[in-house]
Chain A
């Protein structure tokens, strides 16, 4: 074919396409005349055109969600209204579009598994680079389980592309009401939002797109943060159509963001400032007619002072807003926590002193008397239950102050300044993480020098004083002797001299407490300090609390990773998992700050080991977050991440994906990590079919033979126990777990085995034994300060008593504490039990509200049947059913694969007015057959077999 012919063919072809089909023949007659060749070509093209379909239409790509499958590589899947409803991942039915974020559209959807509404976001296809950015943000959102942030339930890939399933938040954009010009009206919601932002920043995440549309205020006036950092990915990757996608709505962007610089936490604060300003005054701090003018104004003009618009605004509010809206980030508050103090109008130091004075005033004894450790507890906010916050805070405080009121006030003040605690009404709130840091000796609050006390102490004494300052609070004389390389007698002499000079105080246990700073530090350069810290580190045995801090301060970076690993490992084996985490985090962040990546992989491996030992969603999310942030991505970290993802998915998503994920991971070279891989595999199999579980178990048993390791044998026993449990052979399960508990040496593993044993005993209708085991577990967990395990053990003990028929009183404290753990499964179980207890006690209102809360928890995890059971309980306690709901639920209950649960549902629904039908007989018969008569009076989740309805003839 030549060029000329082609050109003419093309021209005619296109003309024909434009013309009505009937006219084509005459068109060709006119244009071609006698040129048969031309006509033939055009006709062939037209023929071909009818069949071209989607040939070449979309470039292919391979998506590795399931190995071996290929997707059709769709572009941004924004579904048109005609395409709805559409089911995603076989589970979420998208019904209506509710918004378009910077990175994809959001839909109202129904979770077909739990029948509850969720929000589903569909994301456009993206490059691996963008995907890894997104991954980071996703793990950030998973990490943020506590209130104030929309929960992320599920994420994955289906043929539409990537999707995220999130909590559906119903509410109005911040502040949820029109501006009234009164600070009182917006204060609570603004502070709540700032608290949430502070929490988010604490885990190192920046939102980058704060605006009213991303903060919905629910009916209770609580703000919930949405669209979490997802638009952040787009802010970095340029969108191919030339615009900078997802820059954030300019109206709420900080000036530096508008200039294209990378936003950080202070940019979030600016955006918050704009929102708060607007909430109060009804308009923003800059006014302009259009977006461009607004951007201009934001970049060049100072913000309007709030007092110009709201003259009555309290001065501290006006000041804080002005600070938040400072064009230069350096002029803004340094952190959300600081901003909170400012906005609250607090002056933290005054607060601490006032508190202490108040507490002191409450004591009959003469003022100036010391506080005991117990006294100090009332200074702190709880809960003590499961978290032991007050008692531990009081102990740390006492350790550092001996109970002297003036020093207590000073120390508390220092804690608040350092961000370890914050004012919470009339108490100081110190969270678990801060307590662990205080206990681990990492956060050393330095003594404040008293002016003018640098009397001439003598060189040796000055040096000793320097050691005391550095090593505090581990300043036992023996240690000081080692540090200064002197004889113990000599040390005693010098300490006496220092004490006489008022430079130190001796504690009852012999430790020396510094009261002034040593002149050695005057003008001491960094090098000198580093050298001193180095010597302290050298004098401490590896793994000693505090050594890590000194190594870091000494700049001995190559020792940081091994120390962190050793110390954390030792802590973890003893069950002190929170402390272990703190040590690892310190080590990791030190390494990252110094940009030395080598120790990171080893550290992360240890962290994985510990997180997988603990196996709670929180711990797993945390390590996954750290893994996703590592600069040195490599084969090892990728596989660790996959391992942790597989573990995480067991807590939240459908079964199959967990096992497939776990099995897709290649064996590790590191034997410890590989053992974990096997363990994760076996755990994942629990959520698959029984056949799969048996297959995996057989496979692992073969592998375990080659290992000859007590811990592995224990794991196997535990896994067999879990399989038995699943097969409803509860007695056998209990025995296997008992064996596992004996074999395990590491405390967290023992705890897990004990708890599983108690669970099995419970299901085997042996509540008294279950209670004993649960109590043993609880005591152990309390010693380890492990809120989640302690919570589970407490619940088991209480459930055991309930099942044995005890009349129990409500335990509101427990419910409150469990909420703080952030584990939905546990929360659901506790609320359900407490609901049953309330119901038995006749408190129907409490029973209903607790049942509803449990229902919400189960729904969030996707446990459909547990959700149903809770609803049945609520109805039995007098909840108002929807039209035909009771009969409908009864119908569904008969198809529940867990007979006992099904029977309980039916029993409860009877009390809500359901009429037994023959369809129920199967279920009821089966339960009566499989449960021994002797156990018919023992309760199950709520009801006992003897309380079930009889079969219908």
Chain B
């Protein structure tokens, strides 16, 4: 155990990912809270200055977390895929929790909003109620878990269709169909 808790966490994540790749399904359960914590911490950090051209979003955070944890080393692509899939789910949870007010951060004295607020706002601007979306996804998950995974990966993880296909180990066409159906159903449900 080193003196650096963040480093420990990174090591645990890597180790657990290894287990997951080797087929241990319980590893996912252990991983999720760790990744959640990681992303949440990153999302909480106040933005420094008003850095022009700074892109912030769920997908950016997920990417950044990945790069940070793995420092861009040549990772086993399967580990990476697993991580990213779980990160996408974690991201969904973080956003919803934040929206529901569970972890509502106090506004900093300078009055500047923290990144999560900004991200949520960007969803609102596109007329997406994150809480409603989450409820709808919960419902959908009881009937079609695969479809929900597709939505998480596409919408919270920002993956392209062919990437989703690879991660879920299905055909591109299947992903497209699932995605199309999901959007239709969700819109109907959230209306």
| A61 interface neighbour in B56, B177, B187, Cβ under 8 Å | B56
Q: Is the CB of A52 within 8 A of B183?
A: yes
Which A235-274 residues sit within 8 Å CB-CB of chain B? 236-238, 240-242, 244, 260
| A156 interface neighbour in B49, B53, B121, B151, Cβ under 8 Å | B53
Quick one: closest B residue to A241, CB to CB?
B163
Contact with A along B85-127 (1 / 0, CB 8 A): 0000000000000000000000000000000001101110110
Tell whether B41 is near chain A: CB-to-CB under 8 Å.
Answer: no
Tell whether A23 is near chain B: CB-to-CB under 8 Å.
Answer: no
Interface-forming stretch among B1-9, B10-18, B25-33, B59-67? B59-67
User: How many Å from the CB of B129 to the closest CB on chain A?
Assistant: 12
Residue of A10, A61, A645 contacting most chain B CB atoms (<10 Å)? A61
Quick one: closest B residue to A236, CB to CB?
B72
Interface-forming stretch among A333-341, A416-424, A660-668? A660-668
Quick one: closest B residue to A48, CB to CB?
B188
Which A607-643 residues sit within 8 Å CB-CB of chain B? 634-635, 638-639, 642
Residues of chain A with a CB closer than 8 A to B60's CB: 61, 125, 127-128
Q: Is the CB of A131 within 8 A of B142?
A: no
Residues of chain A with a CB closer than 8 A to B183's CB: 52, 55-57
A125 to B54, CA, bound (A): 10
Residues of chain B with a CB closer than 8 A to A240's CB: 63, 84, 159-160, 163
Contact with A along B43-74 (1 / 0, CB 8 A): 00001111111111111100110011000101
Contact with B along A47-74 (1 / 0, CB 8 A): 0110110011101111111010010010
A156 to B54, CA, bound (A): 11
Residues of chain A with a CB closer than 8 A to B80's CB: 238
Residues of chain A with a CB closer than 8 A to B122's CB: 60-62, 70
User: How many Å from the CB of A921 to the closest CB on chain B?
Assistant: 45
A60 to B121, CA, bound (A): 9
Q: Is the CB of B51 within 8 A of A129?
A: no
Tell whether B186 is near chain A: CB-to-CB under 8 Å.
Answer: yes
Q: Is the CB of B55 within 8 A of A127?
A: yes
Which A115-145 residues sit within 8 Å CB-CB of chain B? 125-131
| B160 interface neighbour in A48, A61, A73, A75, Cβ under 8 Å | A75
Residues of chain B with a CB closer than 8 A to A661's CB: 52
Q: Is the CB of B54 within 8 A of A63?
A: yes
Which B137-173 residues sit within 8 Å CB-CB of chain A? 142-144, 151, 154-156, 158-160, 162-163, 166
A65 to B119, CA, bound (A): 15
Residues of chain B with a CB closer than 8 A to A51's CB: 187
Q: Is the CB of B181 within 8 A of A14?
A: yes
Q: Is the CB of B143 within 8 A of A62?
A: no
Interface-forming stretch among A1-9, A222-230, A833-841? A1-9
A664 to B54, CA, bound (A): 14
Contact with B along A693-714 (1 / 0, CB 8 A): 0000000000000000000000
User: How many Å from the CB of B71 to the closest CB on chain A?
Assistant: 9
Tell whether A497 is near chain B: CB-to-CB under 8 Å.
Answer: no
Given A61-B56, A240-B163, is A127 in contact with B64 using a C-beta cutoff of 8 Å? yes
Tell whether A728 is near chain B: CB-to-CB under 8 Å.
Answer: no
Residues of chain A with a CB closer than 8 A to B159's CB: 240
User: How many Å from the CB of A246 to the closest CB on chain B?
Assistant: 12
Residue of B67, B123, B156, B186 contacting most chain A CB atoms (<10 Å)? B67
Q: Is the CB of A63 within 8 A of B177?
A: no
Given A44-B188, A131-B54, A664-B52, is A237 in contact with B67 using a C-beta cutoff of 8 Å? yes
Tell whether A162 is near chain B: CB-to-CB under 8 Å.
Answer: yes
Q: Is the CB of A638 within 8 A of B67?
A: no
Q: Is the CB of A128 within 8 A of B144?
A: no
Contact with A along B176-191 (1 / 0, CB 8 A): 0100110111111001
Given A125-B55, A126-B55, is A67 in contact with B50 using a C-beta cutoff of 8 Å? yes
Residues of chain A with a CB closer than 8 A to B47's CB: 64
Q: How large is the interface on B (under 10, 10 to 19, 20 to 34, 35 or more residues)?
A: 35 or more
Q: Is the CB of A52 within 8 A of B64?
A: no
Q: Is the CB of B118 within 8 A of A127?
A: no
User: How many Å from the CB of B159 to the closest CB on chain A?
Assistant: 7
Given A60-B123, A61-B55, A63-B55, is A49 in contact with B49 using a C-beta cutoff of 8 Å? no
Residues of chain B with a CB closer than 8 A to A242's CB: 77, 166
Q: Is the CB of A1 within 8 A of B52?
A: no
Residues of chain A with a CB closer than 8 A to B151's CB: 56
Residues of chain B with a CB closer than 8 A to A60's CB: 57, 119, 122-123, 125-126, 128
Q: Is the CB of B51 within 8 A of A64?
A: yes
Q: Is the CB of A73 within 8 A of B72?
A: no
User: How many Å from the CB of B112 to the closest CB on chain A?
Assistant: 10
Q: Is the CB of B53 within 8 A of A56?
A: no
A60 to B57, CA, bound (A): 7
A44 to B186, CA, bound (A): 12
Tell whether A802 is near chain B: CB-to-CB under 8 Å.
Answer: no
Residue of B52, B158, B177, B188 contacting most chain A CB atoms (<10 Å)? B52
Q: Is the CB of B160 within 8 A of A45?
A: no
Which A122-174 residues sit within 8 Å CB-CB of chain B? 125-131, 156-157, 162
| B53 interface neighbour in A57, A131, A638, Cβ under 8 Å | A131
Q: Is the CB of B119 within 8 A of A48?
A: no
Contact with B along A637-677 (1 / 0, CB 8 A): 01100100100000000000000010011100000000000
Q: Is the CB of A55 within 8 A of B181?
A: no
A244 to B151, CA, bound (A): 26
Given A56-B155, A62-B118, A128-B64, is A638 in contact with B48 using a C-beta cutoff of 8 Å? yes
Q: Is the CB of A70 within 8 A of B125?
A: yes
A457 to B121, CA, bound (A): 81
Tell whether A13 is near chain B: CB-to-CB under 8 Å.
Answer: yes
Q: Is the CB of A14 within 8 A of B177?
A: yes
Q: Is the CB of B188 within 8 A of A64?
A: no
A899 to B64, CA, bound (A): 53
A-B contact pairs, 29 of them (CB 8 A): A3-B144, A10-B181, A14-B177, A45-B184, A48-B191, A52-B183, A56-B155, A59-B155, A61-B59, A61-B60, A63-B53, A64-B55, A64-B56, A125-B55, A126-B63, A127-B64, A128-B54, A128-B55, A128-B60, A128-B64, A129-B64, A129-B67, A129-B68, A131-B54, A238-B75, A240-B84, A240-B160, A642-B49, A642-B50
Known contacts A61-B59, A131-B53; 19 additional CB pairs below 8 A are: A3-B142, A10-B181, A13-B184, A17-B180, A55-B183, A56-B128, A56-B154, A56-B183, A56-B186, A61-B119, A62-B56, A73-B59, A127-B60, A128-B54, A129-B64, A156-B53, A238-B80, A240-B159, A639-B49
Name A's B-contacting residues (CB within 8 A): 1-3, 6-7, 10, 13-14, 17, 44-45, 48-49, 51-52, 55-57, 59-65, 67, 70, 73, 75, 125-131, 156-157, 162, 236-238, 240-242, 244, 260, 634-635, 638-639, 642, 645, 661, 664-666
Shortest Cβ-Cβ A-B pairs, 5 listed: A61-B57, A127-B63, A60-B122, A6-B143, A48-B188
